[in-house]
Amino acid sequence: MDTAKVPQHPTTPSEGMRSPAVSVAQKGHALATPAAEREKRWVAMTSFWAAVGITLFKVVVGVLTGSLGILAEAAHSGLDLVAAAATWVAIRIAGKPADADHPYGHGKVENLSALFATFLLLITCAGILYGAIERLFFTEVAVEVTIWSFVAMLTSIVVDYSRSRALGKAAQKHHSQALEADALHFETDIWSSLAVIVGLICVKFGQWQPAWAVLRHADALSALLVAVIALWITATLGLRTIRALLDAAPAGLAPQIVAAVAAHPGVADCHQVRIRTSGPRIFVDMHVRTEGSQTLAQAHALTEDIQQTVRAIAPTADVLVHAEPVVSLPTAR
């Protein structure tokens, strides 16, 4: 049976002495430049201070007007404040290079910060639900609807929109789960703030028209809606974070890599592909069967080509290729 020729690659003497199992960790880290880390930290820091300002503003307006909806929003913004602080710290730690104690880097800190935000969100939802149910069935509190009530919510929407956009762009650019989770928090605040505005309008109509007195409960109902939205976010973030912490492979990535590598010239088979994530980084290791008669330098060059093939699919991937010899490769028909 004829054998397929493996393309010759120029190599240096030092390259010829390396093992065919080659890691491109340094190439994968090339995307995590100091400028990229500074951009991530800047976005996280500005989001933290934005959360500080909007939370304090909502607390003051909520206390002065007695609006549970606004106070619920303040609690939700307080969650965003703590989550933004955790994200800021996590981004700084995750950006540290790998060391002897953490050979895979510190990316898992981003996943842990997202899990921490999930627990905070559960606590916040419980508090909002308790307050809303108490007002609906046990204690009725008069809500004062003023212009400041609407100013607080509209200001919140503007700030939340700007931060969610900035965080979302940075998360997509740098493949950061922590920034993505933070963006999702701010985006959810937009919808919950709109719900509070609707509730305040209904309360005002109920005060103007005695026949519509039932609308006085709209403020508490809007708080319930805020809690439902927050619970949905909790489930989404929680499941994604747990998957990342359990080293679940990104959906659909493994079949793409297997197909691309198996089609590579000089590769007879690609198997035992394992993928895990750590923060924004992806780690891939695989076994490939290739022509056994080639030199070590040729096998090394082939594994480097395979690594580049994988990184064309997952640019931030750290790839380890283990080459296994076969007697011969079938001639392509």
DSSP letter string, 89-122: HHHHHHTSPP-SS-TT-STHHHHHHHHHHHHHHH
Quick: pLDDT tens for 149-182. Answer: 788 888 889 998 998 899 888 888 877 878 887 8
Q: What is the mean pLDDT of residues 48-55?
A: 89
- All structural domains of the chain, each given as residue ranges with its CATH number in brackets, are 13-26+250-326 (3.30.70.1350), 33-245 (1.20.1510.10)
* pLDDT tens, residue by residue, 224-248: 877 787 788 778 878 888 888 888 8
Reading the block at residue 79, the tokens are 């969650």
Q: Region 31-59: what's the mean pLDDT? A: 83
**pLDDT averaged over the chain?**
77
HSE of 324 in the Cβ direction (CA atoms, 13 Å)?
9
Q: Is the pLDDT of residue 20 over 70?
A: no
Most confident of 117-126, 252-261, 324-333: 252-261
pLDDT in the model for residue 90: 86
Mean pLDDT value of segment 24-52: 71
E-assigned strand segments in 77-204: none
Helical (H) or strand (E) element with 44: helix 34-65
- Residue 119 clears pLDDT 90, i.e. is over it: no
- Can you give the pTM of this predicted structure? 0.66
Are β-strands 281-291 and 267-278 bridged in parallel, bridged antiparallel, or unpaired? Answer: antiparallel
